[in-house]
């Protein structure tokens, strides 16, 4: 009952109501006003009206669907960073290890790199305030390092045994959605896109142009783990691949009439073999791109079934600076598929990933079943595709856990592999950069030797005495452990893109996609790539 009463406080605060009969609304509003007034006048203690109203907002939106959400005023700016493609700060990527703030990388050309801060530095103080050993959280880091453009912050770091202070002028920092792109061989290019923001269209177009200059004929476009973003960015990315005024996606809602988004520009990769990589964490805008490519038989989808989000949110700013992201429409792929998975039971909706795993879907394609009523046909070759619960790939790749021993999992969970790679990099940075001047040199020639592994084992034992070396586990996981260390070292010297360039060798979905281009699998599908 309390939840129902609170449900309408947002309406009182904002004064905005759409699409409800006036008499019904007036009665509901009057009831809520009465209760809210009585609580304010008669409750035994002081009434936390802001807390009640925010609880009401959250409760209201939870009654609608899983993706209508409330963003408090103090969180709006950070929530919009990935969408806007930038934020104002000092320009570092960081991690908190053992209650210490570590610089993972500096943003190239950013304020911290300019003054001399570098990867591996430990931040001890910010504006004279000690931050090491105080239980610092990510929110605390953001509070101290973000600020007004042009403002100055004093950062004191520990490098080895030397304590140094820097005066850093905050500036706009780009948040890239294309985090890596490179040539796998002399013809196959690779691009990894992590989200869809206002800068995505330009970033993707630039990446494609640069790879084509390097000789790219075929493209592997990686959307694994991409949770989505702006609808307009999804349209622009799909438009790079789809031509001739073809429909990319359409949306429709109770208040919003049908709205079509079509290919309306000359894309940079409208011809050429295209493979889109998807998995269970690819959602929303990622599914728009994948669905359009599949429906028009423009390329091959490789991986596992996507998340299954077919709802469109619109940000609505409230008077106090807070924001709601309200579902206003459903979106549909060109063939008419609505790929939203059921959300009648919110608890089950949240457990979907676990349910998929326990049901065997991550390992076996034949454990996935769609009702005939959800079947559609692609628009060129008339292949069968399905709606109602994500997008199924054309080539299914099971989750590979054969190298995942308990020892390896513990090394990852305890942060030991990551922290060891930072220590090793800091102790050998100049030597590594001198010997391997580029990521390509490093990836091709650097080897994680047995001596490095011995250092890891000793380091792990010092850091956590419970991490007992298990020889059988190590035999199972040796390859993935050494590859992870190498990738982390690459990240510490270059950037996150370098991590993927090294670690992608362990990604079965990428391997299968590459093989499909090489073994004739792609060409057998007779896709529309010319």
Active site residue 486: no
β-pair type (247-252, 259-262): antiparallel
CA distances to 290, 407, 478, 479 from 403, in Å? 29, 11, 8, 8
CA–CA separation, 394 and 396 (whole Å): 6
Residues linked to residue 277 through DSSP beta bridges, in sequence order: 222, 302
Buried b (16+ CB within 10 A) or exposed e, 208-218: beebeeeebeb
Choice among 295, 352, 394, 473 that is catalytic: 295
CA–CA separation, 314 and 248 (whole Å): 19
Active site residue 309: yes
10: how many CB neighbours lie within 10 A of its CB? 22
Residues 493 and 420 sit within 8 Å (Cβ to Cβ) = no
The two tokens of residue 275 are 């493979």
Phi, psi of 151 (to 5 degrees): -75, 155
Choice among 235, 309, 341, 486 that is catalytic: 309
CA–CA separation, 214 and 206 (whole Å): 13
Place of tokens 């960073």: 81
Choice among 112, 197, 236, 284 that is catalytic: 284
Active site residue 232: no
Residues 358 and 339 sit within 8 Å (Cβ to Cβ) = no
Q: Is 206 helix (H, G, I), strand (E, B) or coil?
A: helix
Q: Which residues are catalytic?
A: 284, 295, 309
């Amino acid at each position: 009952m309390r939840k129902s009463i609170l449900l309408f406080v947002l309406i009182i605060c904002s004064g905005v109501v759409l699409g409800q009969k006036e008499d019904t609304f007036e009665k509901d509003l009057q009831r809520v006003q009465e209760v809210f007034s009585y609580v304010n006048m008669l409750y035994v203690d002081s009434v936390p009206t802001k807390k009640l109203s925010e609880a009401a907002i959250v409760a209201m939106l939870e009654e609608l669907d899983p993706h209508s959400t409330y963003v408090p005023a103090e969180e709006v700016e950070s929530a919009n960073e990935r969408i806007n493609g930038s934020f104002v700060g000092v320009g570092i990527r960081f991690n908190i290890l053992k209650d210490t703030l570590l610089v993972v990388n500096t943003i190239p050309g950013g304020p911290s790199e300019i003054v001399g801060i570098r990867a591996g530095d430990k931040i001890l103080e910010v504006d004279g305030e000690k931050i090491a050993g105080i239980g610092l959280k990510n929110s605390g880091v953001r509070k101290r390092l973000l600020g007004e453009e042009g403002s100055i912050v004093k950062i004191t770091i520990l490098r080895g045994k030397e304590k140094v202070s820097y005066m850093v002028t905050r500036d706009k920092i780009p948040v890239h959605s294309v985090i890596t792109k490179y040539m796998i061989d002399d013809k196959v290019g690779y691009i990894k896109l992590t989200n869809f923001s206002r800068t995505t269209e330009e970033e993707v177009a630039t990446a494609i142009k640069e790879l084509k200059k390097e000789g790219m004929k075929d493209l592997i476009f990686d959307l694994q783990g991409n949770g989505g973003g702006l609808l307009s960015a999804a349209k622009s990315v799909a438009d790079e691949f789809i031509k001739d005024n073809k429909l990319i996606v359409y949306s429709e809602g109770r208040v919003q009439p049908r709205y079509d988004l079509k290919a309306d520009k000359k894309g940079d990769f409208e011809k050429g073999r295209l493979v889109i990589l998807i998995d269970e964490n690819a959602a929303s805008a990622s599914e728009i791109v994948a669905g359009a490519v599949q429906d028009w038989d423009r390329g091959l989808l490789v991986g596992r079934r996507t998340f299954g989000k077919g709802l469109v949110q619109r940000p609505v700013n409230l008077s106090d600076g807070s924001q709601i992201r309200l579902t206003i429409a459903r979106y549909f792929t060109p063939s008419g598929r609505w790929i939203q998975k059921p959300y009648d039971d919110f608890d089950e909706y949240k457990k979907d990933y676990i349910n998929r795993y326990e049901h065997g879907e991550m390992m076996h394609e034949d454990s996935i079943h769609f009702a005939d009523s959800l079947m559609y046909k692609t628009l060129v070759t008339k292949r069968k595709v399905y709606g109602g619960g994500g997008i199924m790939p054309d080539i299914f790749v099971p989750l590979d856990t054969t190298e995942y021993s308990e020892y390896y999992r513990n090394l990852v969970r305890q942060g030991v592999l990551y922290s060891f790679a930072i220590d090793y990099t800091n102790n050998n940075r100049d030597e590594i950069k001198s010997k391997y001047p580029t990521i390509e040199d490093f990836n091709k020639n650097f080897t994680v030797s047995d001596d490095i592994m011995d250092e890891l084992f000793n380091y792990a034992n010092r850091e956590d005495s419970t991490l007992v070396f298990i020889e059988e586990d190590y035999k199972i996981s040796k390859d993935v452990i050494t590859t992870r260390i190498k990738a982390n070292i690459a990240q510490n010297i270059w950037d996150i893109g370098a991590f993927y360039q090294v670690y992608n060798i362990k990604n079965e979905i990428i391997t299968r996609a590459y093989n499909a281009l090489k073994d004739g699998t792609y060409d057998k599908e007779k896709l529309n790539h010319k």
